[in-house]
Structure 1
Amino acid sequence: MFLVPLILAGLSMLGPFSIDTPFPAFPAMAEDFDVTSAEMQLVVSAYLIAFGLMSPFHGPLSDALGRKPVIIGGVLLYAAASIGCALSPSLEMLLVFRVLQGLSAGGGVIVSRTIIRDVFEGAQAQRLMSRVMLIFAIAPAIAPVIGGALLQLGAWPIAFWFMAVVALLLITVVAFALPETHPVERRIPLRFGALARSLATVARSASFHRVAWAAALSFAGQFIYISSASIIVVDLLGLGELDFWILFAPLVAAVMVGSQISSSAAGRISGNLLVTGSLIFCVAAALGNIGIAAVAGPTLPWVVLGPALLGLGTVTAYPTMQLILLDMFPAGRGSSVSLFTFFTLLLNGLIAGLLAPLVTGSVLELAVASTLLVTAGLGCWLWHLALARHAARTPAASLPPAERV
């Protein structure tokens, strides 16, 4: 079992690597395809929206078929889609294969999180989730650096060839080293009705929605910087394809600190208190970032401080929030993590494709947009806590069905 955390971390990296590795190649791709920087944002949003639309199905499928078959099948299709991206002669064709990447990547990313709760309990589960989330959060930071280095070896398709190779390596490791953690006796029938009922049970839970949107919106405050990395580094800062580390290195450091805080807090600080403190920290950091952006503008090192602090707060809270969602539905963990991923990725896809092009004219616009997102996340979380306290004082029979979970 000592290999399981490493394998799960590798699978969790697949999604972020798919988003960020091509960033340094965007200028070259835009030139080859004769499109604008704003149109290149579709490369991000096409992947994220497709991932989000498919994510409700990966978890329930793994509840019915087992974890390993869904992971291997999804990652194998992802490898084929990555090769298609590398060979695409136009932006339109590239977007088709990016959609296919998005539809298939969740087989590894989503199901790997479900395995954590299959195998581990309590504080141990939180510690492992924190470590996996560390890798998940670091991946989008190091991926553009790797992408920039790859461009020194070849043209822009090399980034997608790299993704294909990573996927094939993951398939090999999963096939030979990852145990099946969802035995046959626990599986639900592979029938549309059963899968739909499992998803519907989660979707009807108001508690689930409040926590899911709290997590998704708070992460979106950080993600708007990640999805806009090409514009920030190249257009606003006037740097080159090898300079993405300037934006992402502080974020990596902050994420490592946040992950360590979350891991150390397991079993010592209540999950609710940890999440509340972390999200309040995020809002305070976002408000401070507005002031910094207004005074300093797009100058270093100030432009990277806000995203780093947001990353610290988000990663401290995120593992606990995911475990809360998984524990709401012990018999349908796949459905829970799938719907949560659906909301998160759909939101991030809309941010990358619609919001980011509107607010990347200046670092101040970005800071204001980020603040609105994390404030909305904190609001959802405080709403959840208030209603949870009310439910604890109210007999279960008098609560609406959606509030009894």
Structure 2
Amino acid sequence: MHAHARHLWTAPRWALAILLASLGMLGPFSIDTYLPAFTGIAASVGASPVEMQQTLSAYLLGFAAMNLFHGALADALGRRPVVLTGVAVFTLASVGCALSDHVGWLIAFRALQGMSAGAGMVVSRAVIRDLFPPDQAQKMMSQVTIYFGIAPAVAPMIGGWLFVHLGWHAVFWFLSGVGLLIGLGVWRALPETLPAAQRQRLDLSHLWQGYRALGLDRRFWLLALASGVPFNGMFLYVLSAPAFLGELMRLAPDQFFWFFIANIGGIMLGAWTSGRLAGRIAGSVQIRAGFVIMSLASVANVAANLVWPPHISWALVPLFFYCLGWAILVPVVTLMVLDLVPARRGMASSLQATVASTANALVAGVLAPLVMHSTLALSVASALLMTVGLVAWQCVRRSVMVSPGARPD
């Protein structure tokens, strides 16, 4: 924690939460906004369904690859330079997507978008822990999640409207404008939260030693799986949205927002609950509660799909509660990961994000195409992904400290 943290940010904390949430939302925003235009882009550039899926997989793989370096760069150069560079590259890549007239160019610029979008998410987590002690950090991370939740709910509505009225190119011009506005906000308002005396050497051997030490830590991998893989239980539905909502639920592109409102509503309520619980109960109890809610939602989702034909009137209810449970537990698990290596929180955040985004890419490229055309297959796959996280938490829970400031079990 920065020795002069209280003097670095004197504005209201909700303003910092909005700024950091804006950085974190670049990644999901650049997915959720263009999904309603999926079929229109394919028709315009003559892309096959497989090639269109590659525009998503390329983004996610680029996101995963560069996440290994965002945190290390932020630990060495400071938080501000890395964030500003990432947002600038994202903005330029969005312009490239808007100007693309061939699927090959679109895939390339989507990969560049992914490589740059992760900087804000990785560094914003480290900034929170730079500025706040554990309990306050959990509250801030929960508040960031609440504001973060607004953007993905709005993104598909904006994307659907832009696609219907202005064409798919307008979606990427819009993302360019978002990147520009966020970059200006960071440049004017975000302080440097990492003192020069606490910065790490930037060389490959030092970086390798840090990653090797963290990579050999069994607790890290289990915590990363406990938070990252269950996310894919709901992200699978986001990736499958064109088929799930368009083909199976028979919704028009500008009606996709119902799905995202349900998901993000669950995330926002869960994040608010997590912030209220910070410091009041043990972190392990909070994580257990999140997994119980997700488990019940998963069982209900599979059972409903076995009994009833798919319909929008009930299909979104278990997804809402699944998102609620995930948002209750993820701030606690994320802080546990960062505190495994207090001197290199940027690196820890990077590797955690890389594990999660690699899982995202595998789900997007392999799992989603296999299950997206069946609501039952989607529900079963989502439940299995949640189970991976639950098993990982059960394996690690006794070897990690409960959240500092909370009473133990």
3-state SS of paired residue (1:331)? helix
1:27 maps to which residue? 39
Paired residue type of 2:349: V
> Cα deviations across residues 24-50 of structure 1 (Å, max 9, x unaligned)?
101111111223444422222211111
Paired residue type of 1:161: W
1:399 maps to which residue? none
Matched, 1:56 2:56: no
Q: 1:80 aligns with which of 86, 89, 92?
A: 92
3-state SS of paired residue (2:258)? helix
1:234 maps to which residue? 246
Report if aligned partners of 1:24, 1:147 keep a CA contact under 8 Å in 2.
yes
1:260 maps to which residue? 272
1:5 maps to which residue? 17
> Cα deviations across residues 208-254 of structure 1 (Å, max 9, x unaligned)?
11110111111111111111111111111122111111212222222
3-state SS of paired residue (1:41)? helix
Report if aligned partners of 2:145, 2:268 keep a CA contact under 8 Å in 1.
no
CA–CA separation in structure 2 for the residues paired with 1:372 and 1:32: 36
Q: 1:151 aligns with which of 159, 163, 167?
A: 163
1:133 maps to which residue? 145
Distance 1:29 1:85, change over 3 A: same
Normalised by the length of structure 1, the TM-score is 0.93
Measured after TM superposition, the shift of residue 138 of structure 1 is 4.2
Matched, 1:190 2:218: no
1:381 maps to which residue? 393
Matched, 1:208 2:215: no
CA–CA separation in structure 2 for the residues paired with 1:166 and 1:370: 31
Matches within 5 A, 1:333-372: 333-372=345-384
Q: 2:263 aligns with which of 251, 255, 264?
A: 251
2:327 maps to which residue? 315
2:302 maps to which residue? 290
Measured after TM superposition, the shift of residue 388 of structure 1 is 4.7
Measured after TM superposition, the shift of residue 297 of structure 1 is 2.6
Report if aligned partners of 1:227, 1:352 keep a CA contact under 8 Å in 2.
yes
1:403 maps to which residue? none
CA–CA separation in structure 2 for the residues paired with 1:246 and 1:175: 35
Structure 2: segments with no counterpart, 5+ residues: 1-8, 402-409
Q: 1:117 aligns with which of 129, 135, 152?
A: 129
Matched, 1:299 2:311: yes
Measured after TM superposition, the shift of residue 196 of structure 1 is 2.0
3-state SS of paired residue (1:93)? helix
Matched, 1:174 2:186: yes
1:42 maps to which residue? 54
2:112 maps to which residue? 100
> Cα deviations across residues 301-320 of structure 1 (Å, max 9, x unaligned)?
11112221111111111111
Structure 1: segments with no counterpart, 5+ residues: 390-405
CA–CA separation in structure 2 for the residues paired with 1:388 and 1:193: 28
Distance 1:141 1:296, change over 3 A: farther
Measured after TM superposition, the shift of residue 371 of structure 1 is 0.4
Q: Give the paired residue count.
A: 389
Measured after TM superposition, the shift of residue 257 of structure 1 is 1.4
Measured after TM superposition, the shift of residue 118 of structure 1 is 0.3
2:293 maps to which residue? 281
CA–CA separation in structure 2 for the residues paired with 1:152 and 1:146: 10
> Cα deviations across residues 261-301 of structure 1 (Å, max 9, x unaligned)?
10110010111110112112211210110011112232121
Paired residue type of 1:381: W
3-state SS of paired residue (1:283)? helix
